[in-house]
Amino acid sequence: MYVAVKGGETAIARSWDLLAAARRGDSALAELSLGQIRQQLRLAVARVMQEGSLYDEELAALALKQAAGDTVEAVFLLRAFRTTLPRFASSKPLDTAAMRVRRRVSGTFKDVPGGQILGPTADYTQRLLDFSLGDNSDVPPCALADSGVPQPLPSVLEVLAAEGLIEAEQPLPGDPEPADLTRQPLMFPADRATRLQNLARADEGWLLGLAYSTQRGYAESHPFAGEIRMGEVSVSVCPEELGFDIDIGEITLTECQMINQFAGSKTAPPQFTRGYGLSFGEAERKAMAMALVDRSLRAEELGEAAHAPAQQQEFVLYHSDNVEASGFVQHLKLPHYVDFQAELSLIRTLRAQATSSAVQEANHD
Amino acid sequence: MTETCHSQWQYNFAFLDENTKRMLRRALLKAVAIPGYQVPFGSREMPLPYGWGTGGIQLTASIIGQDDVLKVIDQGADDTTNAVNIRRFFARVTSVATTSSTAAASLIQSRHRIPETPLRPGQIMVFQVPEPEALRTLEASEVETRKLHAHQEYGLMHVKLYEDIARFGHIATSYDYPVMVNQRYLSSPSPIPKFDNPKLHMSPALLLFGAGREKRLYAIPPHTRVESLAFEDHPFTVQRWEQACALCGSHDSYLDEIITDDAGARMFVCSDTDYCQQQQESKA
């Protein structure tokens, strides 16, 4: 006998208990501290801060712990917290030229003023599992460099800009305040600042796939990694009541300046163009993918044929947000009894019609 | 220090801050003034997933008051998991009274159904909407669909319905059946079965629609004409069942089909659990 589905509340409460128990795992093992997550899973923390649009390592570590390491779920948790926070001020534009650089590489020149600085990167490791990490052995101390990195470190693209070979990067006339996509809906056509904001929050996997597609013939843009730099940048605000800038701290950023070919148009001579990527933390994959997609989305502005998915604003920007995408894909888990019932009776009607008309045709023959 | 701060974190009444609620109410006023028009709004990130009712939750949060009595349903039922979760969310962040009774509720948030019990003046229904754009399956670009609405250019939809008739002999849309609101805007009634469409027409209650992920809201004010699209020679019809509800015996309600054993035996029961219970009690 059918029993009406009652007791949903109790079942939900029990699912919470099970989730908490599964998160903790074997209680004989020590519990992860937020400090450990911040220190030892720093790249996961950076990604959650970046896609969660909130620079707070402690909260990002908490979100990762609560989400049991599921990055997209952690981003979701952080965003749902961020949404309630009051806005005290907007920061002044960050000066990445003044970055205290820990890593800077260029793919366009063998040597650049200030040199290539490798920094803490896995790029030149052999990807062999390091079994010594499995037994908690101590890491030998890291020797300090003989000399520090020059501050400030000149930007590689300055060299090209001085010769006029690369487009100037100028703010729009009047330097309008950028939109805040967490407060205003995304509308089209979206200007570059709005697009970059969307891409900064975008899922790294989505950007990576799109960027890759531009390299494989869907919107070829002939990119070179002009400069990638990573390090610390000061954040300052100018409170209205004070009227002067104050530093409120520093954040770790990765910036990518991509250089792309441009054959020229009626109004512009042939020159290099730019794609730009910026991300919290050490996040070169994200910054580089973002720079490629930024450039491909400039197709219309530069008078190029926009035929590839990565060149279409609505396609790229409407589907970039992993919290939106994850929610909507997974909403299919919700009950759809009512709609399914409607479709069920429709398909029965259509099948009955198809069968009877097939019988009629057979008789006719 | 931060940990002490965060552990004592207090959310505002109904979760959203007052400025956000004001922004939402302004957008709702515009929506009521232009029935069926999709108003873009600064949808917030909610602590429930997109696609799970974030639009409806934001609308409810922006209009709910201390004295409201809230009912939340999904597929017509009060105790489906997501309805339970949304109801618990509002109980947690507002402490308002909740109910499963349609008659007792001042505010009803729903996914995919309009209650069988007729709504009355003063009640507000909030619909959760996955895709607010009725033309989306026919035109993927938002830039284009906004133009089509501006010009009241709905030929695409009429052609689609005509092609259904040419191919199947009738219109093959069974839910989220397009409606014309106030003889001006083509609108999605949200994925309610077309069975519920007639309840939208001249409803005494205020009907609000929220799409959080798509960042659009719209409204059907009380006593507004709502017409389900059809042709003169192919009038609009709703689903009917040969069976009555196996639990309450109702012939007039929307029925869910439930498979009861491995051999495919099935029974039909009301999708509206509150209505079904009222019917059973009135017969007992």
Query: What digits encode the pLDDT tens for the residues A324-365?
Result: 999 999 999 998 888 888 888 888 888 888 888 777 777 776
Task: State how far residue A108 is from chain B, nearest Cα, in angstroms.
Answer: 38
Contact A335 B51 (CB under 8 A): no
Q: Is pLDDT at A226 greater than 50 in this prediction?
A: yes
Give the integer Cα–Cα distance in Å for B93 and A9: 17
Which positions in chain A touch B195 (Cβ < 8 Å)? 342
**Between β-strands B179-181 and B216-220, what pairing exists: parallel, antiparallel or unpaired?**
unpaired
- Residue A6 is predicted with a pLDDT of 56
Smallest CA–CA distance, residue A36 to chain B, in Å, is 16
**Closest to A108 in 3D by CA, of A283, A232, A274, A219:** A274
pLDDT-based confidence at B6, cuts 50/70/90?
low
pLDDT in tens, B79-114: 888 999 999 999 999 999 999 999 999 999 999 999
Chain A residues in contact with B44 (beta carbon < 8 A): 83, 182
Rounded mean pLDDT, B255-282: 92
Distance separating the N- and C-terminal Cα atoms of chain A:
48
Q: Please compute, for residue B30, the number of CA atoms within 13 A of its CA located in the half-sphere on the CB side.
A: 13
More confident residue, B133 or B4: B133
Instruction: Please check the confidence at residue A150 and state whether its pLDDT lies above 90.
Output: no
Is residue A50 predicted with pLDDT exceeding 60?
yes
Question: What is the DSSP secondary structure assignment for residue B175, as one 8-state letter?
Answer: B
SS3 state of residue B219: strand
Q: What is the mean pLDDT of chain A?
A: 91
Residues in chain A closer than 8 A to B81 (CB atoms)? 8, 11-12, 334-335
In this prediction, residue A1 carries a pLDDT of 39
Q: How confident is the model at residue B159 (pLDDT cuts 50, 70, 90)?
A: very high
Give the nearest chain B residue to A73 (CA atoms): B49
| pLDDT of A42 higher than 70 | yes
> In the numeric block, which tokens belong to residue B120?
């009355």
* Separation CA B53–CA B83 (nearest Å): 9
Interchain contact, B44 vs A83, CB within 8 Å: yes
Domain ranges within chain B, ordered by starting residue: 2-228, 240-284
Is a pLDDT exceeding 60 seen at residue A207?
yes
Active site (annotated) includes residue B276: yes
Q: What is the dihedral of CA B125, B126, B131, B132, to 10 degrees?
A: 70
Mean pLDDT confidence for B40-51: 95
pLDDT of residue B269: 94
What are A116's two structure tokens?
Answer: 């290539």
With bands split at pLDDT 50, 70 and 90, how would you rate the model's confidence at B135? very high
Average pLDDT over residues B4-33: 87
Determine whether domain B2-228 maps to CATH 3.40.50.11310.
Answer: yes
* B6 vs A217, more confident: A217
Q: B207-233 pLDDT, tens per residue? A: 999 999 999 999 999 999 999 999 999
Task: Calculate the average pLDDT of chain B.
Answer: 94
Residue A166: DSSP 8-state = B
Q: Hey, what long-range contacts does A108-117 have (CB within 8 A, 24 or more apart)?
A: A108/A156, A108/A224, A108/A225, A108/A226, A108/A227, A108/A259, A109/A156, A109/A159, A112/A154, A112/A156, A112/A159, A112/A227, A113/A154, A113/A159, A114/A149, A114/A150, A114/A153, A114/A154, A117/A149, A117/A153
What is the dihedral angle through the alpha carbons of A69, A75, A80, A81, rounded to the nearest 10 degrees? 80
Q: Indicate yes or no: CB of A342 within 8 angstroms of CB of B255.
A: no
| C-alpha torsion sign, points A240, A244, A245, A246 | negative
| Residue of chain B nearest A338, judged by CA positions | B75
A12 and B113 in contact by Cβ < 8 A?
A: no
Q: What is the pLDDT of residue B7?
A: 54
B-chain residue closest to A321, CA distance: B213
B193, A341: Cβ pair inside 8 Å? Answer: yes
Q: Using an 8 Å Cβ cutoff, are B64 and B86 in contact?
A: no
Q: What is the pLDDT of residue A168?
A: 85
Q: Considering the entire predicted model, what is its pTM? A: 0.91
The tokens 């007052």 sit on which residue? B18
Range of lowest pLDDT (A91-105, A153-167, A201-215, B269-283): A153-167
Q: Of the candidates B50, B82, B216, which has its C-beta nearest A324's C-beta?
A: B50
Q: Is B245 one of the catalytic residues?
A: yes
Indicate the SS3 state at residue A336: coil
Strands A223-237 and A100-105: antiparallel
Q: Is residue B64 packed enough to be buried (19+ CB in 10 Å), middle (13-18) or exposed (0-12)?
A: buried
Please tell me which residue, A130 or A137, carries the higher pLDDT value.
A130
The partner residue sitting opposite A337, judged by closest CB among B47, B49, B75, is B75
| B169 lies within 8 A of chain A by CB | yes
Q: Do B143 and A189 touch (CB under 8 A)?
A: yes
Mean pLDDT of A171-181: 89
Contact B62, B24 (CB under 8 A): yes
Nearest to B213 among A328, A336, A349 (CB): A328
List of chain B residues whose C-beta atoms are within 8 Å of the C-beta of residue A349: 170
Distance in angstroms (rounded) separating the CA atoms of residues B25 and B19: 10
Is residue A279 predicted with pLDDT exceeding 70?
yes
Q: How far is CA B27 from CA A82, A192, B23, B63, in A?
A: 22, 27, 6, 12
Q: Among A85-99, A153-167, A251-265, B182-196, name the most confident range.
A: B182-196
What single-letter amino acid sits at B271?
S
The verdict on a CB contact (< 8 Å) between A5 and B80 is yes
Which amino acid does the sequence have at B121?
P
d(CA B260, CA B246): 12
Cis peptide before A152 (omega within 30 of 0): yes
Minimal Cα distance from A13: which residue of B?
B85
Taking residues B110-139, report their average pLDDT: 97
CA distances from A179 to A185, A216, B40, B134 (A): 9, 32, 15, 28
